Structure 1
Amino acid sequence: MSAGTSLCFDQLQDRWGETVQRTTPDPSLKKKPTSICIVGQSSWFLPYWKFDDLSGFYINKSSSITNLPKSISSNMVSKIYTGCAILAFFQCAFSHQLYPDGFGGKISRTTIPRRELALSKRDNIDPSLLYPTYNLSVPIDYFHNESRYEPHSNGTFPLRYWFDATYYKPGGPVIVLQSGETDATGRLPFLQNGLLHQLAVATNGIGVVLEHRYYGESIPTPDFSTKNLRFLTTEQALMDEVYFARNIVFPGLEDQNLTAPNVAYIGYGGSYAGAFNAFLRKLYPDTFWGTISSSGVVEAIYDYWTYFEPIRVFADQKCIKNTQLITNSMDNIVIGQENNTALIQELKTVWGLPNVTYSNDFMSVVMYGMWEWQSKNWDPAVEGTPYFDYYCGNVTSNKLLWPSLNTSTTEVQKLLTKGGYVSELSNLTIPYLNWIGWLTDYTSANFGDCSPSQDSCYSTHNLTYYAQDDSSQSWRLWPYQYCTEWGYLQNGASVPANQLPLLSRTIDLPYLSIICEASFNITTPPAVENINKHGGFNLSYPRLAYIDGEQDVWRPATPHASPFNTTAHNRTSSTSQPFILIEGAVHH
């Protein structure tokens, strides 16, 4: 693509949730630009961004980031680069295939159907009311030569999907968002006003949300017994999407052949679905013209203790230190003095968890704060949860935030002393008490009174629960996938001995594997080679884009894993193979 080829990203200022001041276009231009311009094949620098409102305004950017108007924050620049990369990745080259004469007015605001104006006024409407649900009948079993799927099935099942062809024009792509390990109705906001919507507008494409087999209502078997979950593998699910692309007839567009390879198909997904899309591009390049892997965990890892490493590096360091020291003091009791049942009971009682039977269950509850990092969101336009910030605010405060816990001061100091931290009493007593207060508030809000017992809320040792396998037991689905192929057991026990963990060392591989044996009778580590045979950290392919977050807890499983995983290596980003790490970003 030559310099100056046009790309349009409508209403970017609203999408990113940032306000920028109106600036004047470059006076040397004979006519004002109608879109974003890409400079050179290897650059993501964008000379002109279009920000549409009633009159339109422009931000002028030369080849250097230092020449950006002061009204644009560096955080927004990171977002802009990423948005551009996603669009430019396929649109730069794609434009010559679909629009030999260039995009020009084809994707300008004035050529978008009037229905967009109506849609824009319905941002707060439940998207399930805007998009009808459709189903495509797909095979249950694509691999009749593989013994792992015996007995084989010749049956089919309805795979759910939703689509929006509002902006479609002949020659536009079909952009498929793979919903991954969840009910796909939760992904419909992407189609309504999120990235899927933006890409469809920018390319005159069709946006599709496609449900993953076994999740939501795309269920191929009568129940979720271990025998009937044998078809829940990534390779079978990949073929569902390939089958969709090769066979779909969109309702209302029956007169058009919109199957691959007649039409370019673009895949998109985040996290597990991000890795899914990376595999999709490599394994089925004749079906999927390009894919975007966001936070894509392309390396399956059994012992995933490095999940907590980005938190350790990027979170508030006082919060990290206090968490490590207090956690270690408790480990020194429940592990180092495991036969002192009276002391362990005192520890559980001061935390308000006297009736949690197992120490690893107890410590797992105490650690809830660390898990909330993944729920943070780097984009101010998208609301994340505040729980991690609340947690850190508590364990770093020098003031007792829960006055009712003042009566527990003596007991907490005793436990710190027994845990080996008598020299830190002045520094850790208040954070310890505040952590207890935060956890009590958190568990009360999320679990209520835990009737009939605390074990009913917090125990991982309930074998009766694991025996349930009817089709309403959707909790079985992702555990089956990670027990069989993916791993990702996020534990504290494997943290190097010379480093204090953020998660209790009682949370070890055997503890996290209880669900595998009790639910599925799986007693061996997952076959991660089924996943990593596709290339793992080194997986690359033309028109496969990787977009990851610098502070993402899943970064150690993505191609951007360096320096958290020494077997991963950084790459140079290019137009054909974008490789972008967003500063300050977390998951997705």
Structure 2
Amino acid sequence: MVGGRPANGFKPIPKDYKPLNLDEDTHVFDNRIDHFNDFNKNTFEQNYWFNSDNYKPGGPSFLMLGGESRQNNFWTAVPDLEWAKLASQQNAIMFNLEHRYYGESNPTPDMSTANLKYLSSRQALADAAAFIKAMNTDSRFNLTDNVKWVTFGGSYSGSLAVWMRELYPELVYAAVGSSAPVNAVVDFYQYLDGIQATLTSYNPLCASDLSAGLAQSKFTQMVGGRPANGFKPIPKDYKPLNLDEDTQVFDNRIDHFNDFNKNTFEQNYWFNSDNYKPGGPSFLMLGGESRQNNFWTVVPDLEWAKLASQQNAIMFNLEHRYYGESNPTPDMSTANLRYLSSRQALADAAAFIKAMNTDSRFNLTDNVKWVTFGGSYSGSLAVWMRELYPELVYAAVGSSAPVNAVVDFYQYLDGIQATLTSYNRLCASDLSAGLAQVSELVKTSDGQKQINKAFNLCDDWSTYSPDDITYFWQNTIGVYSQIIQTSGINNGEFRNVQSVENACAFHLRKSSTPLKNLQDVVFWFRTLQFDGGSCVYNNYTDYIQNLQQTVLDEDVSDARAWLYQCCTEFGFFQSTDADATKFWGNVMDVNFNTQQCAQIFGPTITNASIYNNVKKTNTHYGGASKFRGTRVITPNGSWDPWNTLGLLTPSKNNQVVPVPMTGTCHCEDMYMSGESDPQSLVDGRNLIATTLNEWLNPA
């Protein structure tokens, strides 16, 4: 669809319509190219069709105006069409006039922008006026004096029909304009409002199901190591109940560090007080780099919900600024993103805690103990809250929390390799061999053709730019990153479908080559991501243009926001630099990632500013080696490629308690328990519960 127009036009001719006698029926009228320039006498051939079978002297002339698509004799030859029935009733002759620049009625030899200056509705109306005048005197038809012309059309051509009556009343006696949009508007958002209203009027469940499906099929690329659904994903099949009633809004400051800026924004949050008893703590789940809903507050089997039940705690979940619907600014322009930072997000949480402490709905006791929770980036926020706001936050649980910022995060892919190797060395070596085969094949034109076919590429490898090639590697390697980062989570398909075991099953086939195994894993993963049957698109320019969008749109906005934070605070750019090259190949260096910052957000973000800002982040929070927080629990899984950036060493006073869990992945401890949980996960959750209980209920 272009401009709301389906490929076959607004008033489509049926696909199975086969014109008979088309050559004989098609007539040509010489019309002026420019009706509004008397010095331009040039003409073009404009197609038209007619049917005089119903005509009797004194009857009217019906003119169907062609719109934005090719015409043929359909409208004049099919007797069951509504206007044909009207023609029969009124003894009318019927004409159909093709619109200039559509079909074969071309005023110019090509469609260059310069030539399109003659394309407008005003020129089209003047075409119709000239045509009517000519037909009035055409001896073939013997139209009577003062014949009454009635113009017909549908959609855009319906607008033309009524405008003909408006602008040429001396020629047109009446008009029928079906579905004619006579108001022009730039931002026609009401169009999709209408689609929604139609679906809802037919069946509200149909509309809500479509909306849920769209929410699942969004921007699918990994950006800054972040899967499209976030680091601690809400299950795809989770359908929020009573979401409108559960969603609360807190007015938070747009800029906590500028006393002169009093502007506020609406920040979404959710709560559950079912477990709360006076004297119990308050648990706050900090939203990270993705949209939130009531999942974390209403699902009782989540690990933190069990802890809340044990401790008689009230639960809150606060959506992060610039993610989901908590937008401080009307768009995501680089200038507006200056309010997006972890420091502002922590200040948001501090203001929220202070407000909830005095909110009469909750009746929290004086000196209520707040415990912050989070996973991945929001796990970092959780422990940083305890570090920077110890007067508000009593303890923190930061699962898979990367507290070290780093620009060139090549250790991430080292971690992916280590996980595959620990699961099965043959699986890891087969993948590495498959990647090496691709690297060799693309050196020759025949090999490139083989890769085109093997990976079902939309565009030939031979047309790829250097950035397209690196983007291919990012997407291919990203398949394994996404599988391993979430493999094992008891959340939807992650544990039993999109798992290390199932990926390695391809690589352990003895009857197949490493290249075929790699190809099949990529295709299998894409099938799980909704588009396995389509070709693979590796256009770097389109990727950049997607992330340059500044409109508020959940999937792209969340990805853009996270990349901005990577460019201005954290780095976290995964590369095949240093020792990662040995396994993955030298195919994706850190500069490929850092260049995107300037390309997407503008020249103010440079390599120097990226490294400098990452250094500032580590200085501000202390990184892992100089972390100053106490009463902090930091679970990490050995299969998690992020674990090298976490708090892994216990403090001397046992106030930082790492919880290492062998064979578990990113944020796995946060989700529901299951019968197939590894013992290390069971033991880790028990240690979290025991430690938290000791801190909240000291002897």
- Alpha-carbon distance change, 179 to 131 in structure 1, aligned in 2, over 3 angstroms: farther
Residue 395 of structure 2 corresponds to residue 307 of structure 1:
no
- Alpha-carbon distance change, 307 to 471 in structure 1, aligned in 2, over 3 angstroms: same
Deviation at 1:549, TM superposition (A): 1.1
For 2:599, what is the secondary structure of its paired residue?
Answer: helix
Name the counterpart of 2:502. Answer: 390
Q: Deviations over 1:471-498 (max 9, x none)?
A: 114121111111111111111133356x
Name the counterpart of 1:265. Answer: 370
Name the counterpart of 1:71. Answer: none
- Alpha-carbon distance change, 477 to 284 in structure 1, aligned in 2, over 3 angstroms: same
Name the counterpart of 2:631. Answer: 543
Share of identical aligned residues, percent?
A: 25
Residue 313 of structure 2 corresponds to residue 205 of structure 1:
yes
Name the counterpart of 1:52. Answer: none
Q: Is the 8 A contact 1:549 1:586 kept in 2?
A: yes
2:563 is aligned with what amino acid?
A: P
Residue 583 of structure 2 corresponds to residue 501 of structure 1:
yes
Partners in 2 of 1:128 and 1:514 — Cα distance?
A: 44
For 2:635, what is the secondary structure of its paired residue?
Answer: strand
For 2:418, what is the secondary structure of its paired residue?
Answer: helix
Name the counterpart of 2:515. Answer: 432
Name the counterpart of 2:659. Answer: 580
Q: Is the 8 A contact 1:176 1:268 kept in 2?
A: yes
- Alpha-carbon distance change, 397 to 250 in structure 1, aligned in 2, over 3 angstroms: farther
Partners in 2 of 1:448 and 1:226 — Cα distance?
A: 31
Q: Is the 8 A contact 1:331 1:505 kept in 2?
A: no
1:437 is aligned with what amino acid?
A: D
For 2:430, what is the secondary structure of its paired residue?
Answer: helix
2:564 is aligned with what amino acid?
A: Y
1:542 is aligned with what amino acid?
A: T
2:371 is aligned with what amino acid?
A: I
2:637 is aligned with what amino acid?
A: G
Name the counterpart of 2:487. Answer: 376
Partners in 2 of 1:131 and 1:191 — Cα distance?
A: 16
Deviation at 1:309, TM superposition (A): 2.2
Residue 455 of structure 2 corresponds to residue 351 of structure 1:
yes
Residue 225 of structure 2 corresponds to residue 141 of structure 1:
no
Q: Which has the higher contact order (CA 8 A, sep 6+)?
A: 1
Deviation at 1:470, TM superposition (A): 0.8
Deviation at 1:345, TM superposition (A): 4.2
Name the counterpart of 1:108. Answer: none
Q: Is the 8 A contact 1:289 1:543 kept in 2?
A: yes
Residue 474 of structure 2 corresponds to residue 364 of structure 1:
yes
Q: What does 1:88-99 correspond to in 2, within 5 Å?
A: none
Deviation at 1:559, TM superposition (A): 1.8
For 1:262, what is the secondary structure of its paired residue?
Answer: coil
Name the counterpart of 2:571. Answer: 487
2:546 is aligned with what amino acid?
A: Y
Partners in 1 of 2:344 and 2:278 — Cα distance?
A: 31
2:548 is aligned with what amino acid?
A: A
- Alpha-carbon distance change, 449 to 165 in structure 1, aligned in 2, over 3 angstroms: closer
Deviation at 1:366, TM superposition (A): 3.1
Q: Deviations over 1:198-222 (max 9, x none)?
A: 1221111111111111111111100
Deviation at 1:398, TM superposition (A): 0.5
Across the aligned residues of Structure 1 and Structure 2, the Cα RMSD in angstroms comes to: 2.9
Partners in 1 of 2:378 and 2:474 — Cα distance?
A: 27
Q: Is the 8 A contact 1:546 1:580 kept in 2?
A: yes
- Alpha-carbon distance change, 444 to 176 in structure 1, aligned in 2, over 3 angstroms: closer
Deviation at 1:127, TM superposition (A): 5.1
Partners in 1 of 2:270 and 2:652 — Cα distance?
A: 33
Partners in 1 of 2:545 and 2:417 — Cα distance?
A: 36
Name the counterpart of 1:148. Answer: none
Q: What does 1:502-541 correspond to in 2, within 5 Å?
A: 502=584, 504-521=585-602, 522-524=605-607, 525-526=610-611, 527-533=613-619, 534-538=621-625, 539-541=627-629
Correspondence for 2:541 among 457, 461, 464: 461
Q: Is the 8 A contact 1:191 1:208 kept in 2?
A: no
Of stretches 350-359 and 278-287 in structure 1, the one that deviates more from structure 2 is 350-359
Q: Is the 8 A contact 1:466 1:518 kept in 2?
A: no
Deviation at 1:319, TM superposition (A): 1.0
Partners in 2 of 1:291 and 1:550 — Cα distance?
A: 21
For 1:322, what is the secondary structure of its paired residue?
Answer: helix
Name the counterpart of 1:236. Answer: 344
Q: Which has more radius of gyration?
A: 2
Q: Deviations over 1:262-286 (max 9, x none)?
A: 3111111111011111111111100
Q: Deviations over 1:535-573 (max 9, x none)?
A: 11121432111111122111011122xxxxxxxxx3368
Q: Is the 8 A contact 1:165 1:205 kept in 2?
A: yes
Stretches of structure 2 that go unaligned for 5 or more consecutive residues are 1-236, 668-699
- Alpha-carbon distance change, 330 to 193 in structure 1, aligned in 2, over 3 angstroms: same
Name the counterpart of 2:529. Answer: 446
Name the counterpart of 1:214. Answer: 322
